[in-house]
Chains A and B, each alone.
Chain A
Amino acid sequence: EDQVTQSPEALRLQEGESSSLNCSYTVSGLRGLFWYRQDPGKGPEFLFTLYSAGEEKEKERLKATLTKKESFLHITAPKPEDSATYLCAVQVKAAGNKLTFGGGTRVLVKP
């Protein structure tokens, strides 16, 4: 069965304190790995797609990387507005357009 595990569950950062979130996955035939951001009371918002090991994507203070077994979301010099839950999801070749999500990492950035 496809599995996606995110760590840590929660992360408290001071503004400007860079850190990384981990998403490890066990799937057969990865088609893509996706990162989403979810604010309280809102639906997830798409951030990045990664397709192959070694690929990297950047958006403002966020950078996502992918290896054959895990993905990292690096947050550089975070600001309070980066506080959110970050969700990782995988799409498997044999499963059509279904996404399997991890449990998320809740990030709180304090000023």
Chain B
Amino acid sequence: DTAVSQTPKYLVTQMGNDKSIKCEQNLGHDTMYWYKQDSKKFLKIMFSYNNKELIINETVPNRFSPKSPDKAHLNLHINSLELGDSAVYFCASSQNPTSGTTGELFFGEGSRLTVL
């Protein structure tokens, strides 16, 4: 039973299109994240939600819009895709910051986005 699952695993699309990536966790965690891993393998945080509330919003273009319908789900919608958006996007979850360590993240397998 997959702990953090994200779909789709691969997306190939044209510049200017809109796409969404979905993420679900069954660990009972309160905090969820989106990270971006570029071609040089650097992982950078984009957003973090705690119990459906946005708590981290890095300097990400506003074409990227996260949505958390409940604490087990965090989706990422990207408008007007650009070539530079090509990367692997990872969803992750962790315990509530007040109840345990939040550096132990559980990651999904990633969604590889290719913009042509």
Contact = CB atoms under 8 A, between A and B. Distances in A.
B105 A46 contact: yes
A101 B4 CA distance: 20
Contacts of B55: 96-97
B16 interface: no
A101 B103 CA distance: 11
Contacts of B48: 96-98
B90 A43 contact: yes
Interface centre among B4, B58, B90, B101, by most A CB within 10 Å? B101
Given A34-B104, A43-B107, A97-B103, 17 more contacts: A31-B103, A32-B103, A36-B105, A41-B109, A43-B4, A43-B109, A44-B105, A44-B107, A45-B107, A46-B104, A46-B106, A91-B102, A91-B103, A96-B55, A97-B48, A99-B105, A101-B43
By size class, the interface of chain A is 20 to 34
16 contacts: A32-B103, A34-B103, A36-B105, A41-B110, A43-B92, A85-B41, A89-B43, A89-B103, A96-B97, A97-B50, A97-B55, A97-B56, A97-B102, A98-B56, A101-B44, A103-B40
B35 to A, nearest CB: 8
By size class, the interface of chain B is 20 to 34
Interface in B40-97: 40-45, 48, 50, 55-56, 58, 90, 92, 94, 97
Nearest to B58: A98
B110 A97 contact: no
A16 B105 CA distance: 30
